[in-house]
Chains A and B, each alone.
Chain A
Amino acid sequence: MSSPRSGSVLDWPAVSTRAGRRTPTEAERRRSRLRRKIRDNITAYGLLCAALVVFAMFSWYPIVRGVLLSFQQVDFVNPPTWVGFDNFTRLFEDPLFGVAWRNTVLFTGFALVFGFLVPFLTAVLLNELRHARAFFRLAVYLPVMLPPVVTALLWKWFYDPGPGLFNSALHALGLPGPQWLDSSGTAMLSLVFVSTWANMGSTTLIYLAALQTIPGELYEAAELDGAGMWRRLRHVTFPQTRFVLLVLLLLQIVATMQVFTEPYVMTGGGPDDSTVTVLLLLYRYAFVYNDFGSASAMSLLLFVALGVFSAMYVRLTRRADA
């Protein structure tokens, strides 16, 4: 006969018999443990419930609804009609669909080359600074504080092929000024510069924080071995910041593939569709053509594409936490 654990006896359902108290069954014990668990944590569940309701209403429900919408045609007056893969078919038949994906991948590629290397090199330089470090940090971070639309409008003036800042400077030097946003050959690259300039502040600071965690002894040892700046960068800095670099690379892929503000404000997708991105086309389907089914189908495709990178990011960070 197992003796009941102290303190838990009271929780068992007392069944009086002539023979005295009987030992509770395993099922009764499980039930009572569950009851106690609920009673002890009811406040936590209650508070968690509030957060769950908010998440469910404003995050999960829209996602589920979006997935459903991808297979429906809606007019918001009559009940939705199921159309199977019609919305996807419609997208694949749209010549702009392929163009938008190509442009988005192009933007992401360019943005990674510039938006990945430039902040890293800037962080290395800032890390090497001995004086006015705070000033330069602030200077690098300043563009992040500008609202995206303000940034876009500011750069629109920089790029003005006539009296714009860049071409005025080039003309003053006797050089021809490119058409920047007005040529399908340079428009996308011009948008990448804007995006890099606007967002590099945050990335630079993260790199800088990572660089500052590298023990100084490693550099000292490398210097004693006669390593120059590039060898120190290659054999100390890169290996030590590899994880942060990889995580930010994935985050940047996810972020840049969702580019919208710059093409929307600066080029409207032009010239000649050279800056129509997936999100800009999605926006057109939803808010210009009022075709929410196709827009949702497009967002589902983007969701799946970005989900791959997000999964990689989650796995990476989990491995780091382990």
Chain B
Amino acid sequence: MSSSRAWGSGRALRTALAVAGVGTLIAGAAACGSSGSEASGGRVQITVTGQPPSTQPFERKVFDADVAEFEKTHPDIDVVPHEGFMDPKTFSAKLAGGQLEDVYYVYFTDPAQIIARHQAADITEAVKAVPQLADLQPRLLDTFRGENGKLYGLPTANYTMGLVYNRELFRRAGLDPDRPPATWDEVRADAKKIAALGNGVVGYADYSKNNQGGWHLAGWVYSMGGEVARKDGDKWVAAFDDDKGRAALRQLHAMRFDDDSMGSKQLLQDADVQRMMGAGQLGMYMAAPDNVPVLVKQFDGKYADYGIAGMPGGQGTLLGGEGYMLNPKATPAKIKAGLTWIQWKYLNPERFEKHVKQYADGEQPVGLPTEPTPDIWQGAVRDRQLAVKQKYANVPAENYQSYVDTATRIQGHVEPPSAQQIYAALDSVMQAVLTDRNANIDQLLSSAASKVNGVLAQVR
């Protein structure tokens, strides 16, 4: 009796709750990952990355306004922007979970590996509908081509490495800020003079951590006229274990230990070096022009205080950049809509003037060889963009003339295959040279070359 009563009240309720709990869990788990793709009214809905974070209010406003304008002019496409750019830590997880955006942002270091892993849609046919494809620099497009010659993405911005320098420190050290160093010997001499100012001022700094050391060492090797990797028949091999590589490392080692012009603190990465430059404690470092707005905005600096010189030596430089690829699981309709968005937003000469004017009106820098005028075009379109840039220029263009002059004639090397793994191997070379007075450069290079050959032999 009593037991049946319990069954009929408390126990039944408890059981029902327990079952409901399990049911909810299972339902919840099943609901995970399901997402709609068709917007209302038969419009194609695409998710896109590249929306600047709210900590960059101007860029965010421009992006959101562009989305609104695009949807107005393309009523059949619904763009759902997602904040952020490329995060390798979440990329594969998002892809596995069906959460990767239809149009996703990549650095030039990523496409080769993404293509090899079949993680991008083949857009060779679909891209034929994109106007101005022929006006893009072919070497940038090649970054997005697979071994099979097919195209998997589009470049939207690029940079070449140069030398960012502090004009104020140049003046204080008795150097002419309008004549930045053009060779590595001049860099060395100038760094010595700047470091002689004392008070913890560093003449030249470089990265050596989290793959950024390897990335910059690649820049050094190119600047000496060398190569990081080269094609040997149908496979890639390491190419930096030669006189060029040795010259680059000897120069760094001499500046660090013989001249003491690189400071004692090493294992730096971009944020550390930018902090030193922003605080007026650093004379020069290797970087792309997009570093200057960062220095000005984050450290309350002035554009007039910074200059950019071309890569010292002038024999070559590292060419990097960014672009967009499409989700391999995207439907043809989404791919078409995605390419329409990329072309309209990033590869649109018709919007050059409007885009640049937005930046000029927002008191953002115009005239630097970076956003809003990335150097991805060739021929007449490039000239058209240059004219717009000059019309709205609001930063002292003469501070960057050396860089611009060099950029037009210097050979840019795109990132090697398996770039991040190669940079990881070269990181340790950079670290040893900058932290070990007795570093054996020959041994470092040959050991790194065998590591890199191992990486290149098993590109997967």
Contact = CB atoms under 8 A, between A and B. Distances in A.
Contacts of B26: 53
20 contacts: A46-B17, A46-B21, A46-B22, A49-B22, A76-B119, A77-B328, A94-B454, A179-B435, A267-B209, A268-B209, A268-B267, A269-B428, A271-B431, A272-B428, A272-B432, A286-B92, A287-B89, A288-B424, A289-B418, A290-B117
Contacts of A288: 88, 211, 420-421, 424
B72 interface: no
B39 interface: no
Interface of A: 39, 42-43, 45-47, 49-50, 53-54, 57, 73-78, 90, 93-96, 160-163, 179, 181-184, 267-273, 284, 286-292
A211 B119 CA distance: 58
Given A46-B19, A46-B22, A272-B432, A160 B29 contact: no
Given A161-B265, A272-B436, A50 B451 contact: no
Contacts of B394: none
B41 to A, nearest CB: 30
Contacts of A46: 14-15, 17-19, 21-22
Given A268-B427, A292-B92, A160 B11 contact: no
A43 B420 contact: no
Contacts of A53: 22, 25-26, 29
A160 B281 CA distance: 15
A38 to B, nearest CB: 11
B143 interface: no
Nearest to A293: B460
Contacts of B450: 95
A182 B265 contact: yes
A263 B22 CA distance: 41
B267 A181 contact: yes
A295 B65 CA distance: 42
A184 B436 contact: yes
Contacts of A163: 200
A75 B269 CA distance: 30
A73 B117 CA distance: 10
Query: Which of B29, B267, B436 has the most CB atoms of chain A within a 10 A radius of its CB?
Result: B267
B21 A50 contact: yes
Contacts of A54: 25
Contacts of A161: 264-265
B272 to A, nearest CB: 10
A271 B92 contact: no
A57 B113 CA distance: 30
Contacts of B269: 268
A242 B91 CA distance: 48
Given A162-B265, A267-B209, A77 B21 contact: no
Given A53-B25, A267-B267, A270-B428, A183 B91 contact: no
B294 interface: no
B96 interface: yes
A39 B89 CA distance: 48
Pairs A-B, 9 closest by C-beta atoms? A46-B18, A268-B209, A271-B431, A270-B431, A76-B96, A75-B117, A43-B14, A161-B264, A272-B432
Given A43-B11, A43-B14, A161-B264, A93 B454 contact: yes
A95 B449 CA distance: 12
Contacts of B418: 289
B200 A162 contact: yes
Contacts of B436: 183-184, 271-272
B118 A75 contact: yes
A286 B88 CA distance: 9
B92 A76 contact: yes
